[in-house]
A = this chain, B = another copy of it.
Amino acid sequence: MAHNAFYAQSGGVTAVINASACGVIEACRRHPDQIGKVYAGHNGIIGALTEELIDVSRESDEAVAALRHTPGGAFGSCRYKLKDIETHRAQYERLIEVFRAHDIRYFFYNGGGDSADTCLKVSQLSEKLGYPLTAIHVPKTVDNDLPITDNSPGFGSVAKYIATSTLEASLDIASMCATSTKVFVLEVMGRHAGWIAAAGALAGQGEGEPPHLVIFPEIAFDREAVMARVDYAVKTYGYCVIVVSEGARYEDGTFLADAGNTDAFGHRQLGGVAPTLAGMVKQDLGYKYHWAVADYLQRAARHLASATDVEQAYAVGEAAVELAIEGKNAMMPAIKRAAGTPYQWHIEPAPLAEIANREKFMPRDYISEDGLGITQACRDYLLPLIQGEDFPPFDNGLPRVAKLAKHRVERKLPDFEL
């Protein structure tokens, strides 16, 4: 007999998290004997707690298919981490009430490391609270910091966007450097891990090709060494392109972005490694600079998604449903890379207990000895992930995005305070 499924998006969204949603929903539709309706949480897990459910079964096949090329989180995401069952028993009991009220027996949670922890806790409900639930985590994070899986869906598209943007902006500054800007700084995401910054390095392929420096959170920032390299690049190549991670930090752990900028009122000014670093360049070397902060643009840039990433994002969604149907509780479909070339990948289930709350940083041998670039091993790892283009359809000059009806499921339970 078929039971219903619950799907929720969690944490920072990506250009392809909706492709995973598409994979989950389409796979559920292919198994009407096991899975009845798919309900999506409005704003993630909060939607389950507050019983704000979107009836995805009422969306047309076309609208669901369009999720594959729509960035952002179509059902709403949230940053909300459930504490352990002992501390927050009321919340877990509420989840079960909602699941029971709507005959939900499958739980698909689409998120990163923190979310994997939530999913793991939900997967334990079955045992601890005696409700039959199969919980599967669908991996997603632009930060690429999930363990076990070879890469995280969402990352490949940011990587392609940052590598392309670095290449394009480098051509711009190269044309202007004789009489104008000498240094260009691009700030990219990655508070703890430098994977996205590393992707910027794909824009150049050899000695002197931009970017001339990559600044990782994993390597303590050494102002003198960085400025010496910037000066060298400007004197040797005429200009210098720097890709810097938002998480760049000093030896003592202080973020560059937090280190002392104040506004007109003396308030500490948060954010902006790029302007901070550009200011140092001006101060120490006197060069004219430009800087860009890609922020949400990078993780929403579905127009330049990696086809490999889109395919993998869809595949982990689809695989999550297959695992659930096989009764594999507390698992995550992980991407495994086969050894050798050409690049080949497949999906293998991994136990959530090995994934939750662990971060995967750049291995030291992916970062060049001087700490300011990537190695061939890193390039070999990254390049397959940005392969292929998967341009969305365009209408009237702009990308077409999914228009969902988002019918709400009728509520059956009393209100619940978060």
Interface positions, chain A 62-119, Cβ under 8 Å from B, are 70-80
CB-CB contacts below 8 Å: A167-225 with B: 167-176, 178-180, 184, 186, 202-203
Tell me the residues in window 376-414 of chain A with beta carbons closer than 8 Å to chain B beta carbons. 383, 386-389, 391, 394, 396-399, 401
Closest chain B residue, CB of each to CB of A74 = B175
Contact B291 A292 (CB under 8 A): no
Residues of B within 8 Å of A174, CB to CB, are 72, 76
Contacts of A278 in B (CB 8 A): 271
* In the complex, A317 has a CB within 8 A of chain B: no
Closest to A80 in B: B179
A residues 4-25 near B (Cβ < 8 Å) are 9, 12-13, 15
Partner of A297, one of B263, B294, B306: B294
Known: A269-B275, A391-B389. A172 touches B296 (CB 8 A): yes
Given the contacts A176-B73, A300-B172, A398 and B163 also touching, CB distance less than 8 Å: yes
Residue of B nearest to A78 (CB): B179
Point out the residues of chain B lying under 8 angstroms from A132, CB to CB.
none
A249 proximity list for chain B (CB < 8 A): none
User: Using a Cβ–Cβ cut-off of 8 Å, how many residues does chain A contribute to the interface with B?
Assistant: 82
Question: What is the minimal beta-carbon distance from A394 to any residue of chain B, in angstroms?
Answer: 6
Q: Please, which residues of chain B bring their CB within 8 A of the CB of A140?
A: none
A6 to nearest B CB, angstroms? Answer: 17
Contacting pair A295 B300 (CB below 8 A): no
* B301-A290 in contact (CB<8A): no
Are A297 and B73 in contact, with the CB atoms below 8 A?
A: no
> A178 with B46: in contact, given A262-B264, A264-B261 (CB under 8 Å)?
yes
A304 at the interface (CB under 8 A from B): yes
Q: Which of A294-353 contact B (CB under 8 A)?
A: 294-297, 299-304, 306
Determine how close the nearest CB of chain B comes to the CB of A209; give it in whole angstroms.
12
Is residue A226 within 8 Å, beta carbon to beta carbon, of the partner chain?
A: no
Q: Which residues of B sit under 8 angstroms from A80, Cβ to Cβ?
A: 179
In the assembly, what is the distance between CA of A186 and CA of B73, in Å?
A: 20
A160 in the interface, Cβ–Cβ < 8 Å?
A: yes
Query: How far apart sit A386 and B396, CA to CA, in the bound complex (Å)?
Result: 8
- The reply to whether A295 and B290 contact each other, CB–CB distance below 8 Å, is yes
Contact A76 B175 (CB under 8 A): yes
How many angstroms between the C-alpha atoms of A290 and B391 in the bound complex? Answer: 26
Whether A303 touches B168, Cβ cut-off 8 Å, given contacts A178-B76, A180-B79, is yes
* Pairwise interchain contact B168-A71, C-beta atoms closer than 8 A: yes
Q: Is A36 an interface residue (CB 8 A)?
A: no
Q: Would you mind naming 27 contact pairs between A and B with Cβ atoms under 8 Å apart?
A: A9-B175, A43-B179, A71-B171, A73-B175, A76-B175, A78-B179, A80-B179, A160-B398, A164-B398, A167-B399, A168-B303, A168-B399, A169-B300, A172-B296, A173-B296, A184-B296, A202-B398, A260-B263, A261-B263, A261-B264, A261-B269, A267-B279, A269-B279, A271-B291, A274-B293, A383-B396, A391-B391
Given contacts A167-B398, A383-B397, 17 further A-B contacts (CB under 8 A): A13-B172, A46-B179, A71-B171, A72-B170, A73-B176, A76-B174, A79-B180, A163-B398, A164-B398, A168-B302, A168-B399, A172-B300, A260-B263, A292-B296, A386-B398, A389-B391, A389-B394
3 shortest A-B CB distances, which residue pairs? Answer: A72-B171, A260-B264, A73-B175
